[in-house]
């Protein structure tokens, strides 16, 4: 068992999903965070093996069962990927498993000598919550305090906010005149509201994202008619290279959420681009936005329109300060440091439990 001192390299098995490559080409928040974490750990000298589709790109060691992602998500490829990964891990020496697939938790029973950390990337779902109750020895990571509060009580659960490499984003003192919406085209994300708010404020809006099958009815009824309005520029699903100038030059990112968003990567991507975020106070939003520094929280569409209106508070918004503050709070470096502290603590606690369990029971006096 390696020392828990930060200078000692750890052997880490990072199990991503089989559904998207690491990093993802466009959509894929979980896989993007896996990429940032793996690259940051490898940069600090840790021995990381990434279990992901074979077309993933990483400086760490890559192990794969599927050469290409298995999209759309289905339980069978997930189980196949997880069992194959755990078989490789059991045959080799690892200090820790960090999983992003829930199938790994059940398989952890087969490798009891390796501690498991699991990141919860989704909102509260009773099906998953009931499953998690069976694995109270696992160390869980919640991605926001709101997500942790809404989840079933778990004995070991620590909040670690997401982080991204700030140097991958650009910013400017002189943005364009358009608002921006970036995300899945689902009612709960609010793209229809963003379009209405931009029109009410007298601004053009760039709308980037895609429709998932479960959102088709909403899109047909509420979104597609709005995408044809004259103030709307529909961009479709954008790659990272398209996203960077889009956020750099946007006057504002709108996030009129209608659900308890577990985190919201688009929000910190905008902040790292110096672009203020104006959002409804749902999910993680109150944890992420610092009013007047990285954005504003609006209580209604009317208030959102008033905030972003030309001549309003955004005219004096300090985009340099926004980017700097976002880099302090949501950088890859902070993400990696927080995870390393947790890894070291989990490995040490696991070693202590093994030591105690190996001691023979003390005889009871007659």
Q: What is the pLDDT of residues 101-157, one digit of tens each?
A: 999 999 999 999 999 999 999 999 999 999 999 999 999 999 999 999 999 999 999
d(CA 37, CA 23): 11
Closest by CA position to 157, among listed 176, 167, 175, 144? 144
Domains along the chain?
11-165+331-350 (3.40.50.2000), 167-329 (3.40.50.2000)
Weakest-pLDDT range from 177-181, 202-206, 208-212: 208-212
Share of the chain above pLDDT 90, in %: 91
Write down the residue that tokens 């001192």 correspond to: 5
Q: Over range 56-74, report the average pLDDT.
A: 97
Write down the residue that tokens 């890559």 correspond to: 62
What is this structure's pTM?
0.94
Q: What is the pLDDT of residue 27?
A: 79
CA separation (Å) from 108 to 65, 96, 121, 277, 356? 19, 11, 19, 40, 20
Q: What is the pLDDT of residue 26?
A: 81
Q: What is the pLDDT of residue 358?
A: 57
| Band of residue 366 on the pLDDT scale cut at 50, 70, 90 | very low
Q: pLDDT tens-digit profile of 11-39?
A: 999 999 999 999 998 878 999 999 999 99
pLDDT at 7 over 70: no
- Across the chain, what does the average pLDDT equal? 94
pLDDT at 6 over 70: no
d(CA 236, CA 334): 32
Structure tokens, 355: 């030591």
The contacts of residue 64 (CB under 8 Å, 6+ apart) are 51, 52, 53, 54, 56
| Band of residue 357 on the pLDDT scale cut at 50, 70, 90 | low
Closest by CA position to 292, among listed 316, 310, 324? 316
């Amino acid at each position: 068992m390696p020392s828990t001192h930060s200078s000692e390299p750890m052997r880490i098995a990072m199990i991503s999903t089989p559904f998207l490559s690491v990093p993802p080409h466009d959509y894929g928040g979980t896989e993007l965070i896996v990429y940032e974490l793996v690259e940051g750990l490898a940069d600090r000298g840790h021995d990381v093996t990434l279990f992901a589709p074979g077309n993933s790109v990483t400086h760490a060691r890559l192990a794969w069962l599927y050469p290409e992602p298995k999209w759309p998500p289905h339980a069978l490829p997930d189980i196949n990927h997880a069992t194959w990964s755990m078989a490789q891990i059991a045959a080799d020496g690892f200090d820790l498993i960090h999983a992003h697939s829930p199938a790994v938790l059940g398989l952890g029973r087969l490798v009891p000598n390796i501690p498991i950390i699991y990141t919860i990337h989704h909102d509260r779902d009773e099906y998953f919550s009931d499953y998690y109750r069976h694995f109270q020895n696992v160390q869980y990571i919640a991605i926001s305090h709101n997500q942790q509060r809404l989840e079933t009580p778990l004995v070991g659960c620590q909040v670690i906010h997401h982080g991204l490499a700030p140097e991958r984003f650009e910013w400017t003192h002189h943005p364009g005149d358009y608002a921006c919406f970036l995300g899945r085209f689902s009612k709960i994300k609010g793209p229809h509201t963003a379009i209405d708010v931009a029109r009410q404020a007298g601004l053009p809006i760039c709308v980037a994202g895609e429709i998932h099958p479960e959102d088709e009815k909403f899109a047909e009824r509420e979104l597609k008619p709005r995408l044809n309005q004259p103030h709307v520029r529909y961009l479709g699903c954008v790659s990272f290279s398209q996203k960077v100038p889009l956020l750099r030059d946007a006057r504002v990112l709108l996030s009129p959420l209608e659900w308890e968003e577990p985190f919201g990567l688009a929000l910190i991507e905008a902040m790292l681009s110096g672009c203020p975020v104006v959002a409804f106070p749902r999910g993680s939003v109150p944890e992420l936005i610092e009013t007047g520094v990285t954005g504003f929280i609006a209580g209604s569409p009317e208030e959102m329109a008033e905030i972003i209106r030309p001549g309003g508070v955004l005219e004096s918004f300090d985009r340099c300060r926004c980017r700097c503050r976002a880099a302090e709070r949501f950088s890859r470096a902070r993400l990696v440091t927080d995870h390393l502290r947790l890894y070291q603590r989990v490995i040490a606690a696991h070693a202590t439990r093994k030591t105690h369990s190996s001691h023979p029971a003390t005889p009871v006096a007659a």
